[in-house]
Chains A and B, each alone.
Chain A
Amino acid sequence: MRRLLMIALLGVAQPVLSQDYSEESLPDPKQEAQAVALMDTLRCVVCQGQPISGSNADLARDMRRLVRERIAAGESPEAVRAWLVGRYGQWISLKPEFNDMTAPLWAIPLTALAAAGALYARRAKRRGK
């Protein structure tokens, strides 16, 4: 059991014949860049803070493999994101989409910016007076 735990922790997977992309770059650098950019915006479900591109958890590993394989098969990054969101919910995406749930999230910064502008205009002295 203990040895097994060790193996589970180390993530020493048993030999798999096909290429394992859980930790390896894709051969095509363009696709790899797309995959990494996507992985940076997907949240690891077991670690709850980090993106899957920065976690040693098994499930993060599995998701990296899935992302790379799907990108390599020609899927768009947003399609892969949608597939995962369809299973784990919006929680998995670190990139909040714009809808009525998240409108305030985007509106508050804009309001703050507008308020800052108004404050500036109020206190500024007109030239030549």
Chain B
Amino acid sequence: MTRKWVFWLPVLVTVGLFAMFLVALVRPSDRTIASQLVGQPLPAFDAPAALPEQPGTNSRDYADGTPRLLNVFGSWCGPCIAEVPVLLKLQSMGVEINGVAVHDRSEDLARFFSENGNPYARVGLDVQGRAQMAFGSAGVPETFIIDGKGRVVGQHIGVITEADIPDILKQLGAR
């Protein structure tokens, strides 16, 4: 005669599976892909100047002792517009922000800045997403917090809101 307990195994497995489904439902996957570079030096990249009056940005701009934000955005991206006022506020608080515009064009960027304001010290073009991939960034807008030694100390995925400002400042201060 077959041992009885074997027939209770399916029940056990099923209960386990449903526990997993429940955890997945209650705490859904955040669907964002975080960069693996946090804690590491900013990788080599070069985003040439997007506008005649403003310099572009590359990896050599970052290890000069000043912590900064590196914002990955695009003039074609709706949420990026919503983020500009908050970035302007950060700028007025003395935070230096560099921008990398992905899949963008100079004329579109010029219009974007004239309509929404320009919070950036430097703006580089990343036409083919090379800088974006070097950062391990999966979308726009995303913001990397870079310390004075040129290390990535944090990543903010999605729009920065007023509520995020203290946290961003704290990460900038933590060297």
Contact = CB atoms under 8 A, between A and B. Distances in A.
Interface stretch (B59-67, B83-91, B125-133, B160-168): B125-133
Contacts of B129: 58-59, 61-62
A8 B31 CA distance: 23
A87 B37 contact: yes
Contacts of A14: 105, 127
A22 B36 CA distance: 24
Residue of A16, A22, A58, A87 with most chain B CB atoms under a 10 A cut-off: A87
Contact of B133 (A8, A62, A89): A62
B134 interface: yes
B34 interface: yes
B17 to A, nearest CB: 12
A48 interface: yes
Contact of B136 (A4, A46, A87): A87
B55 interface: no
A46 B127 contact: no
Contacts of B35: 87-88
The prevalent SS among residues of A at the interface is: helix
For chain A, the bracket of interface size reads 20 to 34
Contacts of A84: 133
Contacts of A48: 31
B59 to A, nearest CB: 14
Contacts of A107: none
Interface in A60-100: 61-63, 65-66, 84-89, 91-92
Contact of A88 (B103, B105, B136): B136
A121 interface: no
A73 B144 CA distance: 30
A5 interface: yes
A21 to B, nearest CB: 10
A14 B138 CA distance: 22
Contacts of A7: 76
B50 to A, nearest CB: 13
A26 interface: no
Interface of B: 31, 33-37, 74-76, 102-103, 105, 108, 127-130, 132-136, 138-139
Given A13-B128, A45-B139, A59-B133, 19 more contacts: A1-B76, A4-B108, A7-B76, A8-B76, A13-B127, A14-B127, A45-B33, A46-B138, A46-B139, A58-B103, A58-B129, A59-B129, A61-B129, A66-B133, A87-B133, A87-B135, A87-B136, A88-B138, A89-B36
10 contacts: A13-B127, A16-B128, A20-B128, A46-B139, A48-B31, A59-B139, A61-B129, A62-B133, A66-B133, A87-B37
